[in-house]
Structure 1
Amino acid sequence: MGRNNHLLGLALLPAAALLLVPKIILISYFSSRWVDTDAASIALYLLQDLLLAALVYVLGVSLLPRCKVAFWLLSVLAGALLLLLLIDMRVRELWLKPLDLTLVAYSLQHASNLTSGAQVFFNQLAGFGFTFRFIVFVLFLAYLATWALVGLASYRALRTPAKPLATSSTLALAAGAALLLGAPFASDARYHLNQNIVTSPLINALRSAGLNNTARQPNLLPFEQPAYPISAINALPRPEPTPPFTNLVFIVMESVRWNSTFAEGADTDARYPTLARLAREGMLSKAYVTVPHSSKGYFSIFTGLHAFPGVEIKEAMPLYQPGVIHELKQQRNMEAVAFSSLFLQFENMDGFLSSIGVSKAYSVADMSPALAQSYSSFGASDEQLFLPSIPYLKAIRQSGKGFIALYFPSAAHYPYDCPGKRVPRNQLDKYEACIETTDALIGQMLEGFDKNGLLDATLFVLVGDHGESFGEHGLFIHNSSMYEEEVTVPLIFWAKGQPLPKPASTTSQQTDIAPTVADFFGVHNASFQVQGISLLRPHGKRAFYMSTFFDQLSSALVEHPYKYIYDFSPDTLVKYNLDQDPQETNPQQVTGDEFTATKNRLLSYDAYQKAFFEEERQHPQ
């Protein structure tokens, strides 16, 4: 073999090895959070990436000494693969989920509504203390340098009448074949960290064809929290009479989490005086979400049902969704209206509101077109949301009906551009400054309601739609983790001058809101179904189920004081004692019978919810 061919083989090594860098960054990023980094684990994580690198190397040593055009084709292919792997790396960091067609389709469908997240995607740290855009820039320079060397070496090899790199090609081909045979038999790693977006389809095809196809569907017991008729709450005693209400107001606080508002050390009285007063005078509980995503939260809040455990927005598809709002309109002569700073087109929000009985929905631009200022791609500012809605509610009351008002403020949603009481030091400070803004605006709203006589006989429900991560467990934003910062939100029931019953438990779930509202208004003989409970009535020990937005990534079960988090891909289960470890820093591995029983309960939950959303809900005649 000629000297020039040896140079080509050496030049191809770093060029092909660049394809390993995104996974190495990802391993480093995850190493202090969720994954083991012993030699065997790292070998598992890199196995499919090594397979891809070996393939590129084999193509290089086979084709470059023979064909000049091959260099340009292979270099472009390698560059495209590297960029794809980098994007996949960043998606995994933020959402703990490999890039796939479902996620791409979702992103394209909602591209105009998701652009606010671009700054997080590009500018947050993505590995080794660098931002994603810096990593892309450095690897682009490395790509140019390595492939320039390959180009020079291939040019010299083309001028040398010698055989292709037979030895190197044979060795690389043998290594690739060994990796290909080994990959289907390798166990899956936590969060699919071993998968390579390019080679995984081939590995999965081999498994499906019978190679290491050992997956078995466990025999699952029925899910323990099926939907049941709301009338069943009559079987439980209600210890205290409730005040008579004629009006109802929901305020769904975008991205407002429990950890920043009422958790220990939150400084609630100083930072959020309105929320602190309402909680003190009314009913406060820490509420678990069912899925940490806005549209999923709306569904659970207004229907009392668990959301669909996956990326599809099946909650917004029915034309008619039975629930408490329909019943209040029929039984209590009420009219429902919504006011939103968020764009009503996002994930068919206006269609969902119509299906649950909200006849009219107004955006900030509808109420104050001259004053509405866009804050982000997700919606407008909240300053013109609350007070301009008062004339609409007065008109409903003057018509002789009670009103059901739904408010959707957007201030606490990224990009957190709000004036605060403190000088912000980081993104968390900016986010909490936006909760301060929401708190102040709700205070102004209550004053305006009081001046217009709208507070009397009005029940207020304030709740967060989901929490938010700020690096507590290495994650930012929401959708993909089962930790407390993402899955717990404040829930407050309040009425002016009306003492409300104090529930025995201070922990609840968003699914409890609809049955509790029905109980407050005496809607006991309706046929619609719920999966939550009325907080006005005594219940025994409860279990709270929840799932990530991305299908079969993680799910969780809370049975006080323990919280179990199941990760589907590595088939692992950990638990935390929330009394002793509220920050969830000390996971305890669950094994044996406890593992089997808890896992099967969570799988039953996942299976039940998916089957439930396949059923058709008929509009009553």
Structure 2
Amino acid sequence: MQKGNTPLQLALLAAVSLLLLPKVILISYFASRWVDTDPASIGLYLLQDLLLAALVYLLAITLLRRVRYSWMPVSAFCGALLLLLLIDMRVRELWLKPLDWALVQYSLEHAGSLTSGAEVFLNQLAGFGFTFRFIVFVLFLAWLGTWLLVGLAARWARKHPPVPMTGTGKLALIAVLAGLLLGAVFARDARYELNQNIATRPLVEALRNTGLGRDNSTQNLLPFEQPAYPLSAINALPRPEVAPGFKNLVYIVMESVRWNSTFGPNVDTAERYPTFARLAREGMLSKAYVTVPHSSKGYFSIFTGQHAYPGVEIKEAMHLHQPGVLHALKQKRNMQAVAFSSLFLQFENMDGFLKSIGVSKAYAVADMLPANAAAQHSSSFGASDEQLFLPSIPYLQAIQQAGKGFIALYFPSAAHYPYDCPGNRVPTSEQDKYEACIETTDALIGQMLEGYDKAGLLDSTLFVLVGDHGESFGEHGMFIHNSSMHEEEVTVPLIFWAKGQTLPKPESSVSQQTDIAPTVADFFGITDESFKVQGISLLRPHGKRAFFMATFFDRLASALVEHPYKYIYEYSPDTLVRYNLDDDPWENKPELVTGDEFTATKNRLLSYDAYQKAFFAKDPEQR
């Protein structure tokens, strides 16, 4: 150190070292979950953060020695940088990806509908047993204290001229910076991009784009094996005789209802969810995989029979017309479509999407309540479900009286965070509260069926009950949804049911949300249409299948299920793991996949990603 500058240098080292703490906290948070913590791995995770700290130190020491009062803007800059790194840390903990502009833009556009998530963001544990809010407070005090010391040291240093740095010292400093920079450029990516620092990432990526440290070999991907095909192609497969003569269709898209909490292992479905148990016993039940674990993505797959866009952009709700089964039913079966929602219809252009698939009118709970009434237990995501189902009956009776069949779409919100439902037992955890909300949904659907029966709406009506996505409660270190490819987030119950009708049992108990639209079309005899689907009709034999899915955040992870194996590919570390779902239904025993199996499976998943992105680049009429 330069003589005369020692106090300043020591104070500044303490101050800039705070920039390393968000990554240290993140490593500790991930350590018991998904990342290695040997010295080499920790060095890789911290490499870009050390580069940032070194650059900030160099900038600060230069300004503090030459510009009077520069410690105030420099300290403000470092404080803002520390806060940004802390927010990035929390985003990574919840969504397993670094903060980026797409996520910021998404959050700003839907800020009003996302406010219920603030409780999770701020008050769930974020590292070392502390909440994020507490960590920010403590680091604010640390920032304030260290930069006050820097200010005092800078004032003292100006009164004691330093000895100029020797040539050897300058070379050593340059060597350290160059080593950190080259190390960051040439180092492999870590799992969940844990090595990335959002402040230095642009510099590192710019150097990589010049050819440094990047594998420029191109992959020859095979065509995706499940392209969209005309619905009429299902006629090439044999179909058992099914002629129930349905006149009406009801979808109940159950918000955040997952398979593991309803029909999964060790669940007493009959006791906790008697309505679900009865409908499953009397109808068709399957475990359905989502395409992307996010609400609007689930709606798209459910109602169009196509895979959703594998990324944060809501491309599914951008067009005025989406060809599909609802349009065909309206035209060929003299039916009218209407939706009833506890969720806010403005969220992610839900109202616009419903219009595009053929739903001419959508009612929120508030629209069905008397003028002087208010929905109970409202949150920023929507209203409660108590006034969703039964008040909808007069609207459907009016459609019948007009001589038409009805298509009713219901979007209850009960199992969405913050899980504010009474339930039948005292909850001891967030998962208990969540499952109490599923109990409430089950009871309300039971009341709805009774109301339908009394109103004469139950006969000749096909019901489809399906979850839009699952929910994580820390099973693999994650919470809520969007980022996991594990069963708790990507599997939901799917039930087809009709009063007094014996529905055919599918040959497989596993399906995908994309199968719903072609199956509904098959039930109603709509089999000669040209609109495109990627699923199959569950009424027809289909043999061994593969199920593809991706995370809501682009190129975070994707998965492929070929029973009994499930493969999860993580993009940033370029790793593939396999689970045997028969032997390991909770996915606790990952097997690392290498060699030819790795290459072949990875390329299948990359083909899926590439196909879907090219698919959504086209207008729906041209797909």
For Structure 1 versus Structure 2, the TM-score category normalised by the shorter chain is over 0.9
- CA deviation after TM superposition for structure 1 residue 613, in Å: 0.7
Deviations 1:338-395 (A, max 9, x none): 0001111111101110010011111001111423246111111111100110000000
Cα deviation code 1:289-340 (max 9, x no counterpart): 0000000000000000000011111110111101000000011110000000
Worse-matched range after superposition: 542-551 or 70-79: 70-79
- Alpha-carbon distance in structure 2 between the residues aligned to 1:497 and 1:165: 90
- Does the 8 Å contact 2:123/2:132 carry over to 1? yes
Q: Distance in 1 between matches of 2:496 and 2:312?
A: 30
The equivalent of 2:82 in structure 1 is 82
Question: Does structure 1 residue 121 correspond to structure 2 residue 121?
Answer: yes
Query: Does residue 1:395 correspond to 2:410, yes or no?
Result: no
Q: Which amino acid aligns with 1:567?
A: E
Q: Aligned ranges for residues 54-203 of structure 1 at < 5 Å?
A: 54-163=54-163, 171-203=172-204
The amino acid of 2:155's aligned partner reads: Y
Paired position in structure 2 for 1:569? 572
**2:444 pairs with 1:444:** no
Instruction: Summarize the Cα distance change of 1:165–1:378 in structure 2 as closer, same or farther, 3 Å threshold.
Output: farther
Q: Structure 2 residue aligned with 1:462, among 460, 465, 482?
A: 465
**Contact kept? 1:314, 1:613, Cα under 8 Å:** yes
Spell out the pairing of 1:342-353 with structure 2 (5 A cutoff).
342-353=343-354
Displacement of 1:129: 1.3
Q: CA 1:114/1:169 → structure 2, altered by over 3 Å: closer, same or farther?
A: farther
- Residue of structure 2 equivalent to 1:298: 299
Q: Specify whether residues 168 and 265 from structure 1 end up closer, same or farther in structure 2 by C-alpha distance, changes over 3 A only.
A: farther
Return the alpha-carbon distance in structure 1 between the equivalents of residues 155 and 4 of structure 2.
9
Amino acid at match of 1:581: D
The CA deviation at 1:217 is 2.9
2:290 matched to which residue of 1? 289
**Cα drift, residue 62 of structure 1:** 2.2
Q: How many Å apart are 1:7 and its aligned residue?
A: 1.3
Counterpart in the other structure of 1:335: 336
> 2: CA distance between counterparts of 1:412 and 1:504?
30
SS of the aligned residue for 2:70 comes to helix
Q: Is the 8 A contact 1:371 1:384 kept in 2?
A: no
Provide the C-alpha distance between the structure 2 equivalents of 1:264 and 1:342, rounded to a whole number of angstroms.
Answer: 30
Letter in 2 for 1:617: P
One-letter amino acid of the structure 1 residue matched with residue 266 of structure 2: G
Whichever residue aligns with residue 503 of structure 1, its letter is P
Match of 2:537 in 1: 534
Partner in structure 2 of residue 312 of structure 1:
313
2:36 is equivalent to residue 26 of structure 1: no
Give CA deviations for 1:492-542 in whole Å, capped at 9, x if unaligned. Answer: 001111111111110000000000000110101111111001111111100
| Deviation, structure 1 residue 163 | 4.0
Instruction: Compute the displacement of 1:162 (Å).
Output: 2.9
Q: CA deviation at 1:165?
A: 6.3
Query: Structure 1 stretch 8-17 or stretch 331-340: which is displaced more?
Result: 8-17
| Distance (Å, rounded) in 1 between the aligned partners of 2:135 and 2:393 | 51
For 1:218, the equivalent position in structure 2 comes to 219
Per-residue deviation, 1:3: 5.5
Larger deviation: 576-585 or 150-159? 150-159
Shift of residue 81 of structure 1?
Answer: 0.8
CA, structure 1 residues 168+464, in 2 after alignment: closer, same or farther (shift >3 Å)? farther
Q: Does 1:552 align with 2:555?
A: yes
Q: Output the TM-score relative to the length of structure 2.
A: 0.97
Question: When the two structures are aligned, how many residues end up with a matched partner?
Answer: 620
AA of the residue aligned to 2:162: A
Aligned equivalents of 1:170, 1:32: Cα separation in 2: 40
Following superposition, the deviation at residue 49 of structure 1 comes to 0.2
Structure 1 residue corresponding to 2:429, chosen from 403, 426, 443: 426
Cross-structure match for 1:488: 491
What is the CA distance between 1:619 and its match in structure 2? 9.5
Larger CA deviation: 56-65 vs 90-99: 56-65
For the residues of structure 1 that align with 2:607 and 2:67, how far apart are their CA atoms? 57
Measure how far apart 1:2 and its partner are: 6.9
Q: Is the 8 A contact 1:58 1:169 kept in 2?
A: no
Cα distance per residue 1:428-459 (max 9 Å; x no partner): 01111111111111111111001000000000
Equivalences for residues 5-16 of structure 1 within 5 A? 5-16=5-16
Q: 1-side partners of 2:518 and 2:432: how far apart?
A: 35
Which residue type is aligned with residue 182 of structure 1?
G
Inter-partner Cα distance in structure 1 for 2:247 and 2:125: 51
Query: 1:476 & 1:326 partners in 2: Cα distance?
Result: 37
Distance 2:169 2:96 in 1: 37
Tell me which residue corresponds to 1:324: 325
d(CA) in 2 for partners of 1:62 and 1:164? 12
2: CA distance, partners of 1:373 / 1:209: 58
Contact preservation (8 Å) 2:288, 2:492: yes
Judging changes above 3 Å, is the alpha-carbon distance between structure 1 residues 398 and 60 closer, same or farther for their aligned structure 2 residues?
same
Q: 1:111 to 1:168 in 2, by over 3 A?
A: farther
Please say which of residues 126-135 and 81-90 is displaced more in the overlay.
Answer: 126-135
Check conservation: 2:4, 2:161, Cα contact below 8 A.
no
Deviation of the 1:172 alpha carbon: 4.2
Classify 1:452/1:619 alpha carbon distance in 2 versus 1 (closer, same or farther; 3 Å).
farther
Relative distance call for 1:359 and 1:596 in structure 2 (3 A) is: same
Corresponding residue number in structure 1 for 2:588: 585
Instruction: Give the conservation status (yes or no) of the 8 Å contact 1:242–1:500.
Output: no
3-state SS of 1:527 partner:
coil
What's the offset of the Cα at 1:33?
Answer: 1.6
Structure 1, unmatched stretches of 5+, are: none
1:498 to 497, 501, 504: 501
How many percent identity over aligned positions? 76
Match of 1:616 in 2: 619
The one of 455, 465, 475 aligned to 1:472: 475
For residues 290 and 168 of structure 1, the distance between their equivalents in structure 2, rounded to whole angstroms, comes to 56
On the 8 A contact 1:244/1:457 being kept in 2, the answer is: yes
Report which stretch shifted further, 532-541 or 30-39. 30-39
Counterpart of 2:205 in structure 1: which amino acid?
Answer: N
Rounded Cα–Cα distance in structure 1 between residues aligned with 2:361 and 2:222? 42
Question: Residues 202 and 246 from structure 1, CA distance in 2 versus in 1: closer, same or farther, beyond 3 angstroms?
Answer: same
Partner-residue secondary structure (3-state), 1:260: coil
